[in-house]
Each structure stands twice: as C-alpha cells, then as structure tokens.
Amino acid sequence: MPARPTLKTVPATAPIEEILAILHEDGAIVLSDFASEAEVDALNAKSKPFFDKQEAEGVAEHKIKGFRASNTTVFYDLIGEIPEDTSKLLQRKVWHQVMNEFLRHDQWEWYGKEKIARKGEYWLHTSIAYKVMPGAGAQMLHRDQGSTMIQRTGPESLTNMVSTFVAGCDVTAKNGGTHVIPGSHKWPQDRAPTPEECAIVEMKKAIWLGQIFHGAGPNVCDPSDPDALRIIYGLFACADHFRQGEATTLACKPEEYMKMTPEVLKLLGFYKSQNGSGHLKGKNPVDVWEGLQGYSGGEWKYVQA
C-alpha cells in the first residue's frame, strides 16, 4: 500500500507567500501557534456548558444523513455563545490574508458600453465547536463547500468556502485527527475519495485550512487517556456573493414578524435552506430567535389584489 501523504506544518508567522503557495498546491496546511495556550484554555472552559447543554438536548441533526460520526457532540453558533474569544480568532492577519486570496472572486459585467470589474468579499459562514469522544467512528469524507450547494464541476470551479480548525487539545491520530486528502481540490468532480488516500492531521494548538476532501478520523483512545477528548473549533468562511440584497431578518420589528405567515418568514430567512444554511444554533431561526418566542404561525393563503 502506498505511504500516506502528509500535510505541511509551518508557523503562523511564516511568510504569507509560503503559506499561500502550500495552500494552492496541497489545499490544506497546518499553521502552528495560531492560537495561544491561554486562548484555547479559555475557549475550552467556556464551551463546556454548551457541550453539556447540547448533550442533554441530543445530537443536532444534519441535512446529510449520517454526516456526523458517532460519539460526537457539536454546538453551532460559537460566535453567538462565546463572542469575545471567537471574535479574537477572527482578527488574525494571516487568516484574512488567506481568505483574501481564496474567497475574493473577480467579476465583471457590462454597464452600458463600459466593462466594470469588481472583487467580492468574504464573511463567516458558520462557527462550530466539536467534541469527539472515544469510540467515535470515522466521519464520511466530504468537501465543506458542498454545503453551499453550488455545483463544483472540477478544478476550474471557484473556491467558495475555506475551513479553519483550531485545536482545543493535542489532536492526534489516536483521538481522531482529521483525515484529509492533500491535492483533492484539483480533482475532477467525478473522482470519489477513499480512506487510503488520506493524510492524518496531528496538531497542537494549530489550525488548518482547506477546500479539500476530509473527515474526522476514528477516536480509538481509552477514556482514561489525557487527550481522549478531541476538542476543535471550526470557523468556516465563504465568499459573500451568497448574500441577500437586503438583510431581511433585521428589517422589521419582532412584532411585525409575529404577524407574518411561515411562508413569508421563509422568504425573509427565518427557516433553514435545503443545505441547512441560515440556521441559528443548528435550528430554524423561527424556533429559537428571541424575537419570535411564542410564534405560532398563521394560516397560509394567497392574498388577492
């Protein structure tokens, strides 16, 4: 059997040209020292009650059946639950340099006889905390940008999402360090991933980025191992052309939304989309947003002019 590929690890302070060159070539990288020990300890302490709450509520469902491996707890909306610490992670220069490279797409169009060229921006798609416990199986291999539901056709397709994982513990092969396939961002779309092609990401207080095939590895630790729990924090950014023209979930007062039917609230963004996007804490915003507490919905009917 051919040897497993490996991922390159460089310090987060390495020259940006080096980091970008590796990302273009391999589609993934480990940046050591991306977050400090103190930052990670604070995140771990603050995330514990949210993991406990999620476990009490049961595993949040995912739009792709079986997407999450067993013995895995995730809570969504890390930015909403732990705003101060999470927003600091979103202020790293190197992170913005990477997003700038991969997610700002060029576009031009005719305006009259003039060709106007513009560059898009990026924004946060999702922020998620993961706790992967002993006994967790391997997660299905996937590309995160599949969740945008924009059809990838092959290596020529634009990168629409970049994923960042910050380790909350020593991530090892034994506790399920993520399996990733370097170079799979250049594959034709009809090539499926296989477990044998994966590199295993081992990292200590580090980060990796990628638009490539990957999935959580199995956690084969004994529960007594000091690093038996694999804690990671995922920050997913996407190109910002996935936006509405108007931010309709902010446009009205809660009492106005309360009077609207579910079908109208769906148009305004209070229900998850087919791909699961637009959720709040993993659920339909209509069910969890404070402003719509007690909403019971009206009966849908077409209104005649």
Ligand X SMILES: O=C(O)CCC(=O)C(=O)O
**Residue 18: CB minimum distance to ligand X, A:** 24
Rounded-to-integer distance, Cα 230 and Cα 29, Å: 19
Which residue lies nearer to ligand X by CB, 207 or 268? Answer: 207
List the structure tokens of 54.
């999620």
**Residue 226: CB minimum distance to ligand X, A:** 19
From 200, 216, 235, 237, residue interacting with ligand X (rule: CB under 6 A): 216
Secondary structure of residue 184 in the 3-state scheme:
helix
From 130, 187, 213, 257, residue interacting with ligand X (rule: CB under 6 A): 130
178 binds, among ligand X, Fe ion, none (CB under 5 to 8 A by kind): ligand X
State yes or no: residue 214 binds ligand X (CB under 6 A): yes
State yes or no: residue 178 binds Fe ion (CB under 5 A): no
For 214, phi then psi, to 5°, come to -165, 170
Which residue lies nearer to ligand X by CB, 169 or 216? Answer: 216
Secondary structure of residue 54 in the 3-state scheme:
helix
State yes or no: residue 26 binds ligand X (CB under 6 A): no
Residues 6+ apart with CB under 8 A from 38: none
From 26, 77, 81, 144, residue interacting with ligand X (rule: CB under 6 A): 144
Which residue lies nearer to ligand X by CB, 103 or 265? Answer: 103
Dihedral sign computed on CA atoms, order 180, 230, 43, 41: negative
Tally DSSP H helices, then E strands, for the chain: 8, 14
Task: Please report where in the chains the tokens 């009490």 appear, as a residue.
Answer: 56
Residue type, 47: S
* CB closest to Fe ion, residue no: 144
Rounded-to-integer distance, Cα 18 and Cα 126, Å: 27
Give the binding range for ligand X (CB under 6 A) out of 48-56, 210-218, 245-253, 258-266: 210-218
Task: Please report where in the chains the tokens 């990292």 appear, as a residue.
Answer: 203
For 5, phi then psi, to 5°, come to -70, 170
Which residue lies nearer to ligand X by CB, 215 or 285? Answer: 215
Which residue lies nearer to ligand X by CB, 14 or 60? Answer: 60
Give the binding range for Fe ion (CB under 5 A) out of 92-100, 120-128, 136-144, 278-286: 136-144
Which residue lies nearer to ligand X by CB, 213 or 270? Answer: 213
List the structure tokens of 33.
């020292």
Q: What is the DSSP string of 111-170?
A: ETTEEEEEE--EEEEEEEEEEE-TT--PPPPB-GGGGGTPPP-STTSPP-EEEEEEESSE
Residue closest to 61 by CA, chosen among 51, 53, 72, 50:
72
Give the pairing of strands 179-180 and 214-215: antiparallel
Contacts with ligand X, 161-180, as mask; x by CB under 6 A? -----------------x--
**Residue 105: CB minimum distance to Fe ion, A:** 22
Task: Please report where in the chains the tokens 């694999």 appear, as a residue.
Answer: 230
Rounded-to-integer distance, Cα 163 and Cα 62, Å: 18
Which residues inside 144-173 make contact with Fe ion, applying CB under 5 A?
Answer: 144
**Residue 130: CB minimum distance to ligand X, A:** 5
State yes or no: residue 95 binds ligand X (CB under 6 A): no
Which residues inside 106-125 make contact with ligand X, applying CB under 6 A?
Answer: none
State yes or no: residue 202 binds Fe ion (CB under 5 A): no
Residues that bind Fe ion (CB under 5 A): 144
Residues that bind ligand X (CB under 6 A): 130, 132, 139, 144, 178, 214-216, 232
